[in-house]
């Protein structure tokens, strides 16, 4: 980062972890309030690049990869011109500007510019270089406190995603390094707090690393009831993402929870039974409508219905309801699929009976269990789901279904 000798002790502080905020003189500064997303991305790129600068080609590759390449040159020139205007009109101190030197663009400031990304990395380096556990723990605690969320979560360009993934990996390593220290000290309560906060900061846990660690930490403290609730929450989160099978780390937690049930006191067991009886599988589920289950629970329910068939003699139908586009083809647009999937979930919940249950099968469909319904009843129920869905989703999306008579297998 090109930086002249500071004229005073003021500092320009920029936060990018979890949000993008600029501070100067102890207050926030609005930079390019009405500017487009490309301006903010350009500013963020230049600040993060520091004295390495960013070439014209790097900016084009990062910000214009989806644009018409014939007009990119003029678009970039216009972006630089407008960016300088936005910075000049802001309440940033004089001397803050975008300059070009030796074919690269730089962020220049007459006063020191400090980012939370730099502070995070610097704290991690101190932790790595520390000669004793106390110093390492202090530096790790500083780093974890700085990391308030992923880097620039609203920025979708590839350059940001690459840095986002790298910084998330640094954060997870710091969490596990701190966890090792806490385990050595046998500080299980702080370990639970560490994983709880890390799980909250990371809006997503694709491999169940944090959720499984939190569950195991809760088990270690003897709070099996909270561990069970965290396990159910984690499984439901994976199902909401359209993943049919839960990660192995969560399956290992389930095995450990099943063994630890023998060590729960009678009072704890009574409390947990009451919690199970009173709590819906989905925390925000309404009291009426069908019952949403996580995928493993739904599969167990299907197996139980099949086992009861010889005695019950009632029909039971398993149905798969899937989203399609207006032409009846699989829906390819991720944005549309997400939107209409939410509409479908609500339609299924409302259209079914209180005694019916359903779960997410994948990104486009839901499995429905209909005890007491034969195939004719199932067709009528599908028609009801379709009517409710079309009332909210319109005609740009449709449904198709498959059904299976469970009493016939």
Where do the domains of the chain lie?
2-115, 116-278, 291-408
Q: Give the position of tokens 């009173």.
A: 278
Q: What is the pLDDT of residue 281?
A: 47
According to DSSP, the β-strands at 357-362 and 291-292 are parallel
* 343 phi/psi in degrees, rounded to 5: -65, -40
Q: What is the pLDDT of residue 8?
A: 39
Name the CATH code of domain 291-408 (choices 3.40.920.10, 3.30.70.270, 1.20.20.10, 3.90.110.10): 3.30.70.270
CB-based burial label for 191 (10 Å; 0-12, 13-18, 19+): buried
By three-state DSSP, how is residue 204 classified? coil
Q: What is the pLDDT along the chain (409 residues), one digit of tens a residue?
A: 444 443 334 789 999 998 889 998 878 888 877 777 788 889 989 999 988 999 999 888 888 876 655 678 888 889 899 889 989 888 888 889 999 999 899 999 888 889 999 999 999 999 999 989 999 999 999 999 999 999 888 777 888 888 998 999 999 999 999 999 999 999 989 999 999 999 888 866 767 889 899 999 998 888 877 888 888 788 777 766 655 567 788 888 877 876 555 444 444 545 555 555 555 444 445 556 788 887 777 888 888 888 776 666 788 889 999 998 888 888 877 778 888 988 999 999 989 887 788 988 877 889 999 988 888 888 999 999 999 999 988 888 899 999 888 877 7
Q: In 279-368, which residue ranges form alpha helices assigned H by DSSP?
A: 295-312, 334-351
Residue 34: how many other CB atoms lie within 10 Å: 7
Q: Which of 109, 194, 107, 120 is nearest to 151 (CA)?
A: 120
- In this structure, which topology does domain 2-115 adopt according to CATH? Arc Repressor Mutant, subunit A (1.10.10)
Q: What is the pLDDT of residue 282?
A: 46
Q: In DSSP terms, which residues pair with 15 in a beta bridge?
A: 21
Q: In 15-108, which residue ranges form alpha helices assigned H by DSSP?
A: 37-49, 56-63, 72-89
- In this structure, which topology does domain 116-278 adopt according to CATH? 1.25.40
Contact status, residue 80 vs residue 73, Cβ threshold 8 Å: no
Q: DSSP letters of 100-137?
A: EETTEEEEEESS-EEEHHHHHHHHHHHHHH-SSHHHHH
Contact status, residue 54 vs residue 44, Cβ threshold 8 Å: no
Evaluate if pTM is beyond 0.75.
Answer: no
CA separation for the pair 46, 113 (Å, rounded): 12
């Amino acid at each position: 980062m090109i930086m002249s000798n500071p004229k005073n002790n003021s500092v320009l502080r920029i936060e990018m972890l979890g949000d993008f905020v600029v501070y100067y003189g102890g207050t926030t500064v609005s930079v390019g309030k009405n500017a487009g997303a490309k301006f903010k991305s350009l500013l963020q790129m230049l600040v993060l690049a520091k004295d390495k600068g960013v070439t014209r080609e790097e900016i084009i590759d990062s910000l214009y990869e989806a644009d018409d390449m014939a007009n990119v040159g003029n678009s970039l020139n216009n972006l630089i011109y407008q960016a300088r205007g936005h910075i000049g009109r802001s309440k940033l101190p004089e001397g803050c500007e975008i300059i070009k030197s030796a074919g690269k663009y730089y962020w220049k400031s007459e006063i020191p510019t400090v980012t939370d990304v730099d502070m995070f990395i610097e704290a991690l380096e101190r932790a790595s270089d520390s000669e004793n556990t106390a110093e390492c723990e202090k530096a790790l605690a500083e780093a974890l406190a700085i990391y308030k969320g992923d880097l620039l979560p609203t920025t979708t360009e590839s350059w940001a995603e690459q840095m986002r993934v790298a910084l998330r990996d640094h954060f997870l390593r710091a969490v596990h390094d701190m966890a090792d220290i806490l385990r050595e000290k046998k500080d299980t309560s702080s370990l639970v707090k560490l994983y709880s906060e890390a799980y909250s900061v990371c809006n997503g846990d694709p491999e169940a690393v944090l959720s499984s660690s939190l569950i195991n930490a809760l088990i270690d403290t003897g709070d099996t009831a909270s561990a069970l609730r965290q396990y159910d929450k984690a499984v439901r989160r994976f199902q909401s993402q359209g993943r049919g099978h839960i990660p192995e780390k969560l399956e290992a937690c389930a095995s450990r929870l099943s063994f630890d049930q023998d060590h729960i006191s009678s009072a704890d067991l009574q409390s947990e039974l009451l919690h199970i009886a009173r709590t819906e599988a989905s925390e925000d589920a309404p009291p009426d409508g069908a019952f949403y289950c996580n995928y493993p629970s739904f599969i167990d329910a299907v197996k139980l219905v099949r086992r009861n068939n010889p005695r019950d003699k009632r029909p039971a139908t398993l149905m798969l309801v899937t989203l399609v586009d207006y032409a009846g083809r699989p829906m390819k647009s991720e944005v549309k699929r997400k939107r209409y999937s939410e509409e479908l979930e609500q339609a299924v919940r409302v259209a079914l009976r209180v005694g019916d249950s359903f779960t997410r099968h994948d990104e486009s469909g839901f499995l429905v269990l209909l005890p007491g319904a034969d195939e004719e009843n199932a067709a009528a129920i599908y028609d009801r789901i379709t009517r409710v869905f079309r009332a909210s989703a319109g005609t740009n999306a449709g449904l198709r279904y498959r059904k299976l008579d469970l009493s016939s297998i």
